[in-house]
Chains A and B, each alone.
Chain A
Amino acid sequence: MSSASFRKKLLAVYVALVFAFIYGPILVVLVLSFNEGKNTSSPWTGFTLNWFQAVFRDRPMVEAGFNSLYVGTGATIVALLLGVIASFIFIRRQFRAKSAFSLMIIAPFLIPGSLYGISLLMFFAQIGFDRSLVTIALSHAILITPLVFLLVSARLATFDRDLEQAAQDLGASRLAVMRYVTLPILTPTIIIAALLAFTWSFDEFIIAFFTAGSSNTLPLAIWSQLKYSLSNRLNALASLIFIFSFITAMAGAFVFSISSKKKRRVEEEI
């Protein structure tokens, strides 16, 4: 064997090891969530689905799950609105302080969550706004707007404006151009952004921790269990959440690969 191909094999083994390091623990939890054993670290004794049933029987946990769905949906809708508008402003308009504008939009990405969380806590307390699921959703919306902004503005930057011009020349109104030309082209990007934004909000912990009132989101409910009691039910819950996030992320990747294939085909035809 030549030394070059030996080095390549060595690197491949290395990559596999790093993946094992990243995914190993999660796979162990997936397996353990079907384990009959009494506690989180007991050896394999038999297959059971009891832990999953227990998760769904846990009323506060199910309620927290629904809360997370509401918060995620609300935050995603607001973030899409803010992110898409900000992208149009950033790409289509000329004004001074443009780089300051984009820095402001991206800032929630760059600021540590713990820092942003406490600033929101003090802000809501000072203006006397009671914390609830609404404050979590609003805070999450600002947090995930950068994601929508970066994806949509990247797509808008490569957007062929001749298409809009052509539609306008053919007599379409500004609204019609938006409805029948611009938005359909942006749709795949917006879907991806929505999926990723939702997943992010659904899993977000630290900002929810500071902006939550009396109702819990799922990560907050998990947090209190992690701190005070490790139970086998938690393995099942972890598996469910992992699979849920995995599917959402994969759906995003799927839409992405389809839309980029389609784009390539169109470009080849031209």
Chain B
Amino acid sequence: MTMGVTEQIPKVATRAKLRKAVLTGDNIPLGFILLCFALLLVVPLLLIFVISFWPTLEHRAVPGFTLSNYGKLFGTSMYVRILFKTLWLSALSSIICVLIGYPFAYFVAKKVTKYKFLVLCLIIIPFWTSFLIRVYAGMIILGRTGLVNSALLNLGIIKEPLEFLLYTTFSMVLGFIYIYAPFSILTIYSTIIGIDDRILDAAFDLGANWWQRLRYVTLPLSLPGVVAGFLLVFMPIMGDYVIPLLIGGPEGTVLTTLMITQFGFSSQWGFGSVLALLLMILTAIVVWLAGRYVNLGRLFG
């Protein structure tokens, strides 16, 4: 009997709380936020999962259940190859972003004093300027008659315009680095700035040279930033569509372009959803890994 009473109490309490919440309107704001995000974020994303099982009839995805969309992905060697190519190119570009970003971040964090705010602004500004415009600017520079080629021609270094500068895998990787390097600089900067100067001084006082200090002190202490700097550019590079399509040329087919093609004239929403799901899973893994190394919220703030 006593059992019955104790079980009753929390139930009554929740009900009272619920009534109070409904009457006072305390939960209206929360409900509003949940409604908006459920409608415009959660449901659309769940829809990808649902439609990935729908068969396509006459260029329309129709409700039903089939696994053929999944079979198409894993049964076609070309698609598997594109998947690995995407991962490999994203990893390569991200590694170069980190390699370029590390010395830069170190210098700004530890050596620049007077103009730090200005330099930081200059790193952040590219995030706030049109992505398309920046890619366009890159195209102008690298084109067949672009600045690089005409300069090299005029200097007599080359006789024919370099063809690999634009619409190749090379230009695609270069484009990724050009657009995303500021991101890894900022990520790495935020960990290096947190390293206590006294630790670095101590290393010098104990007789370490600059290389030993970098290898045994600075680098290990900033490793979380390096890993995060890699993962947080890997993610948007893998999801990028503009660069592969505009400057990737004929070799520019990656996971995203393949995915988006399915929503164009061919209208293969089911197969497109499978590819989207794959991208979502890969992103989730990267977010999860990155979350183990850095506080994501703090980084963006």
Contacts and interface: CB of A to CB of B under 8 A. Distances in A.
B140 A32 contact: yes
Given A18-B181, A248-B128, A238 B239 contact: no
SS class, residues of chain B in contact with chain A: helix
Interface in B86-131: 100, 103-104, 106-108, 111, 117, 119, 121-122, 124-126, 128-131
Contacts, number: 213
Q: Which of B30, B128, B135, B147 has the most CB of A within 10 A?
A: B128
A25 B43 CA distance: 41
B205 to A, nearest CB: 14
B121 A253 contact: yes
Contact of A249 (B108, B124, B132): B124
A36 to B, nearest CB: 16
Contact of B41 (A86, A107, A223): A107
Interface string A224-249: 00110010001100100110011011
B48 A118 contact: yes
Contact of B128 (A105, A118, A200, A205): A200
B44 A123 contact: yes
B299 to A, nearest CB: 9
Interface size class of A (residues with CB under 8 A): 35 or more
A115 B136 contact: no
Interface stretch (A5-13, A51-59, A160-168): A5-13
Given A28-B141, A89-B33, A122 B121 contact: no
B236 to A, nearest CB: 7
Contacts of A248: 128
Contacts of B301: 150-151, 154
B17 to A, nearest CB: 11
Nearest to A3: B210
Interface residues of B, number: 77
Interface in B125-151: 125-126, 128-141, 143, 145-147, 150
Interface string A1-43: 0001001100110110011011111101100100000001101
Contact of B283 (A12, A110, A200): A110
B221 interface: no
B133 to A, nearest CB: 5
Interface in B30-48: 30, 32-33, 36-37, 40-45, 47-48
B276 interface: yes
Contacts of A88: 29
Contacts of B296: 106, 110
B269 A106 contact: no
Contacts of A89: 29-30, 33
13 contacts: A22-B181, A41-B140, A41-B145, A86-B33, A88-B29, A89-B29, A112-B240, A114-B240, A123-B44, A146-B300, A196-B128, A246-B129, A249-B125
Given A93-B30, A112-B236, 8 more contacts: A86-B33, A118-B259, A142-B41, A203-B131, A227-B246, A238-B130, A238-B133, A242-B129
